[in-house]
A and B are shown apart, each in its own frame.
Chain A
C-alpha cells in the first residue's frame, strides 16, 4: 500500500522568503506524484505533477518540485513566497498504471505568509 508523509504541519514565512516543503512517499513500484494547493475555503487545485522524465517539474504560480527516486522524496519549492501563497499544501501519490488506482494524500502543510 502507498503512503505519504509530510514533515511540516505548519510553516510561517515572511514574504520573499524561500520555501521548501518536504514530502516522502512509500510504495514498492513506480508512482505518479502530485502537489495540490487548497486556499482557504476553496477546493483542491493541482500545482504540479510528475509522471516521468525530467525529475525537476515546474508548476503554476512559480512552484517547482524535484523527484529524488533514491530518497522517495518529492519536495516542493518556491524561491520567493507571496502573501497570496497562504494556503494548505498536499503532497499526493498514486501507483503508475492505467488502472483505477486511488490517490493517497499526505496530511498537508499549512503555509502562512506574513506580509
Chain B
C-alpha cells in the first residue's frame, strides 16, 4: 500500500537555526498538510497546501513557517528561526484529488528537538 514518508525521523537543532522537514506524498495526491504534536498534547493543524499555494493556516503557522513543493514531489516545511517551543513531532499528511477523496494519509512524523 502506498504511504507517506518523512525525513528525517529525528532532527536536533539549536535555537535560532533554520530547519527543513521533508515529506514525500503518495503519488497523485494533490492536497498536502502539516500537523504538529507537542509532547503530551493533541495533534494540531498547521497548514494545508493545494495547487502550489496555502489553502488554510492556523494561528500557529506564523511568519517563521513556510511550505513549498520545490521539485513537484517533496513537500517541505521550513522553520526559519527555531524556538524551544517548536520542539514537537511534525506530521505530514496527503490526500488525493477529486470529490471522492476524503481520507488524509499521515506520515510517520519527524521529531524536532530544539535545544
Interface residues, chain A, CB within 8 Å of chain B? 32, 34, 36, 43-44, 46, 49, 51, 90, 92, 94, 96-108
Contacts and interface: CB of A to CB of B under 8 A. Distances in A.
Contacts of A34: 103
Given A32-B102, A100-B31, A100-B56, A107 B48 contact: no
Contacts, number: 61
Contacts of A104: 45
B28 to A, nearest CB: 15
Contact of A44 (B41, B49, B56, B106): B106
A96 B93 CA distance: 17
**Chain B at the A interface: SS class:** strand
B98 A98 contact: yes
Interface residues of B, number: 29
A103 B48 CA distance: 10
